A and B are shown apart, each in its own frame.
Chain A
Amino acid sequence: MAKKHISFTLNGAAVETLVEPRELLIHVLREELRQTGSHIGCETSHCGACTVDLNGKSVKSCTVLAVQADGGEVLTVEGLAQNGQLHPLQEGFMQEHGLQCGFCTPGMLMRSYRFLQENPKPTDDEVRMGMSGNLCRCTGYMNIVKAVQYAAKKIQTPGGK
């Protein structure tokens, strides 16, 4: 199968690569583009470890063909910190002990990043519902909710973000 040339913005920088039409975005991110922050935890689109932000939406990059990102904007966990400053979500996860093995964490961060844009002042139950596409085996979710709320408050505070 002849490869296709695709180009898109990854974490603010232009990237381009050749991909087979059947290649998944998660593989292209991790292997061709060497951004291994997004992870693979299943192959049935349930776990959310591969969650990234594509054209302003949370997507499970294991269920997106790389060619679908052509001409688009992709944000991964590697692009959350800006100018050496951690994103409030990253701070929140560390402050509230929202991670243990760290495998689900990039997906949690990328989903909560978009979620807080969709719902900047959520209740705890809304956070749980908004994050229900991301599985975690270690934390039991209590501290993840706290971490997201920490970030929500910080982002809402003037000068906080």
Chain B
Amino acid sequence: MATTAESMEREQKLEGIGCSRKRKEDPRFIQGKGNYVDDVNLAGTLFASVVRSPHAHARIKSINKAKALALPGVHAVLTADDLKPLKLHWMPTLAGDVQAVLADEKVCFQYQEVAVVIADNRYIAADGVDLVEVEYEPLPALVDPHKAMDADAPIIREDLVGKDEAGQGKRLHNNHIFRWEVGDKAGTDKVFAGAEVTVKQAMLNPRVHPCPLETCGCVASFDKVRGDLTVYITSQAPHVVRTVVSILSGLPESKIRVISPDIGGGFGNKVGVYPGYVTAIVASIVLGRPVKWIESRIENLSTTAFARDYHMVGELAADKNGRIKALRVNVLADHGAFNSHAQPTKWPAGLFSVCTGSYDIPVAYVKVDGVYTNKAPGGVAYRCSFRVTEAVHLIERMIDILAQKLDIDKAEIRFRNFIKPEQFPYHTALDWEYDSGNYPAALKKVMEAVDYAGLRKEQEEKRKKGELMGIGICTFTEIVGAGPSKACDILGVGMFDSCEIRVHPTGSAIARMGTQSTGQAHETTYAQIIATELGLPSEVIQVEEGDTSTAPYGLGTYGSRSTPVGGAATANAARKIRDKARKIAAHLLEVSPDDLDWEIDRFKVKGVPGQEKTMKEIAWAAYNNVPAGMEMGLEAVEYYDPPNFTYPFGAYICVLDIDRHTGESKVRRFYALDDCGTRINPMIIEGQIHGGLTEAYAVAMGQLIAFDANGNLLSNSLMDYFVPTAVETPKWETDFTVTPSPHHPLGAKGVAESPHVGGIPCFTNAVNDAFSHLGVTQIEMPHTSFNVWKTIHELGLDKQV
């Protein structure tokens, strides 16, 4: 901690932790010199395009490739039959199920992959796709998850008939995937039976899609001479992809190089292994040439990892003062035709059981049933922290509904139920240990900033005039940083993460991590961590990720885990280097290592001013003048297995006004306070909050992946899927508190998903609040003008003068 003007100046020069320094990534992006997957241009590259099913559920009677193969420029047309000898027509998913790579005798969702055309360029490939003739026999489609377990429901997964387990425990029906229960059922039921007050509400967290601006794709290049496979891929977890590809192809990992170059947004859409990747890899191995597959936006929205589709019923038992005594939740989860979402193995509903939220709830019980439907596979995506969006949506709506029933102010009821600061570390009724938090302080700060009391007064006046004004509150606790390997693994690989740092003789450094940036500026923020730990300017610390041949093994980036896990690995690796540097400094200064103090960028001999060595000087010495018995060099590797998740939290307030005649909501104000512990780069954090809130706005106010009764997609292009522009996006106000994580080396928690997790309930609470004086308890998302107008119309509010 710098205490003098001189030491402060040295600290500022480092541009380390806490500095809003400009991003090291920017120069290439602002000059159009980014390197995204579609920019990769290898000599001899062929282009792959996918033939897709128009039906949600159908048998494939025949596939005629002749016309396509006859088109000049078409090199191959692959179907399941071509993949069968390689046993690649099915592949394992990240959730313990299997997924068809190319449809094997039947298709189970609209746009499912049926065949792949490989051609000289994308135009010929598209022509080829139009020439492949597929004969289908349509089958009745199962679209409503509530009907999935009916006796007469169509059977979707014929490959699972007779199997009473699909990788997640016993199945109750052919369309059932898992039942997951947690908590104390008997204890919870008992409390409900004797409660003074109970509320119960069904609510839908509708199916949406992350829609990053760059779609998914890869360039697979198999070198027949060397027997090496290189895959450039839009992946948030390149090492996991390498392991999966090795398992699928039989090639050893040492012969596979997976490279995630620059990625145009992930948001959980780029975690899974998609059939397009596998077929491109197979095609490249077979043809011995690079094969590029880049999906279109329609393909992206139709087939890649969607988010949510949780049909939830929440119940709260409380006393008449609004003090919650128990929580009971039942969820029907629509997973689509294959269970493919990313999840730590033992949690088929992700981290949903964090749904007790920021509140001190003594007992709770949660049951989740996952079912198959004739829709695209997925479920965990879109800044959700593994189903935490669903969990927070549930508890934040329920507490508002309880407040409404008891006529208690919606902020007041939260203060009555918050976990108090002195209760940390807090063990929840569903078995999570929250590390640290101060919820009352956060909410208080936000309420003062927006003059909450004044807003409620204004709302009362407006209500008298028949105007619709809503105030939404959300006080959320997030759970990120998956996770301790004893609890968290993906396909058996523990969810640690890693960092390797090497300091060069002239005082600059290179560092590589097992995480993967998709816009979060890791090249900048990790460099800042190292700068503070090692006393070298972040400007000269080169950070690389994404190349599995050079980066140490990591589980990638999703669920806001980079800072909690990768950042901890980075800090610890840097500290190992500093320990060695201390010994070298002691050697150079001819003192004992214990006689030295570390100050910002140098070791100083205690009590002897002027006797000091900077890290830069030590770096040089590390390569030519080290103590006897010590190895040369200055580097370290750390594989960090986190002892716990981290729990960022926040308090958001949204004020909106709804037009009584059109149902249009205008967001007047959105005030977001986030606590992510130690803040590495405030400018970058604020940018993340803006982005997450905008995505929350999109979800709450307009996004829906819609189907008709036959399983046809109705909103799978940007004509219909709502992505907000600069015009409708509200202006965000951000604020913060700092409650460090006690178990993290830097006290940092991670933040990028919080605004999405907290933003969605805040918007939907605001819209619901606009009507709660009229006895309405639940209006479902998305809150499009038309949907809101329907409620207005039902209540006859548009008829009043």
Contacts and interface: CB of A to CB of B under 8 A. Distances in A.
Touch between chains A and B, by CB atoms below 8 Å? yes
B171 interface: no
A78 B265 CA distance: 22
A97 B123 contact: no
Given A42-B717, A94-B27, A104 B213 contact: yes
25 contacts: A37-B34, A39-B36, A42-B296, A76-B32, A78-B31, A93-B26, A94-B26, A97-B687, A100-B519, A101-B212, A101-B518, A102-B262, A103-B36, A105-B29, A109-B30, A128-B729, A137-B212, A137-B694, A138-B519, A138-B687, A141-B690, A141-B694, A141-B725, A143-B690, A145-B726
A46 B716 CA distance: 13
Interface in A100-118: 100-106, 109
Interface of A: 20, 22-23, 27, 30-31, 34-44, 46-47, 49, 76-78, 80-81, 86, 90, 93-95, 97, 99-106, 109, 127-129, 131-145
A101 B723 contact: no
A138 B687 CA distance: 8
A94 B691 contact: no
Nearest to B29: A102
Contact of A47 (B26, B36, B38, B718): B718
**Main SS class of interface, B:** loop
B41 interface: yes
A151 to B, nearest CB: 11
B690 A139 contact: yes
B215 interface: yes
Contacts of A103: 34, 36, 212-214, 264-265
B718 A86 contact: no
Nearest to A103: B264
Interface of B: 22-23, 25-34, 36, 38-39, 41, 121-123, 210-215, 262-265, 267, 294, 296-298, 518-521, 683-684, 686-695, 717-719, 723-727, 729, 731-732
B30 A100 contact: no
A49 B33 contact: no
A123 to B, nearest CB: 13
Given A20-B123, A101-B212, 14 more contacts: A39-B38, A41-B214, A42-B297, A44-B717, A46-B718, A46-B723, A78-B31, A78-B32, A81-B31, A94-B22, A101-B264, A103-B36, A103-B264, A137-B213
A37 B292 CA distance: 18
Given A27-B122, A101-B214, A143-B687, A44 B718 contact: yes
Contacts of A131: 725-726
A20 B267 CA distance: 37
A41 B31 contact: no
A106 B39 CA distance: 14
A99 B214 contact: no
B497 to A, nearest CB: 21
A144 B23 CA distance: 15
- The 5 A-B residue pairs whose C-beta atoms are closest, nearest first, are A37-B32, A103-B264, A101-B519, A102-B29, A140-B690
Contacts of B684: 97
A99 B267 contact: no
Contacts of A23: 123
Nearest to A49: B213
A132 B727 CA distance: 6
Contacts of A36: 32, 36, 38-39, 41
A41 B215 contact: yes
Contacts of B29: 99, 102, 105
Contacts of B214: 39, 41, 101, 103
A37 B683 CA distance: 25
Contacts of A22: 123
A23 B126 CA distance: 12
A31 B292 CA distance: 13
B30 A99 contact: yes
Contacts of B687: 97, 100, 138-140, 143
Contacts of B727: 128-129, 132
Nearest to B693: A140
A31 B683 CA distance: 36
Contacts of A128: 725-727, 729
Contacts of B265: 101, 103, 137-138
B297 A41 contact: yes
Contact of B30 (A27, A39, A105): A105
Contact of A46 (B38, B263, B719): B719
A78 B30 CA distance: 9
Nearest to B689: A140
Contacts of A94: 22-23, 26-27, 30
A111 B39 CA distance: 21
A28 B455 CA distance: 55
B34 to A, nearest CB: 5
Point out which of B520, B691, B731 has the most chain A C-beta atoms below 10 A from its C-beta: B691
A77 B31 contact: yes
Point out which of B22, B519, B693, B725 has the most chain A C-beta atoms below 10 A from its C-beta: B725
A44 B32 contact: no
Given A44-B718, A76-B32, A102 B725 contact: no
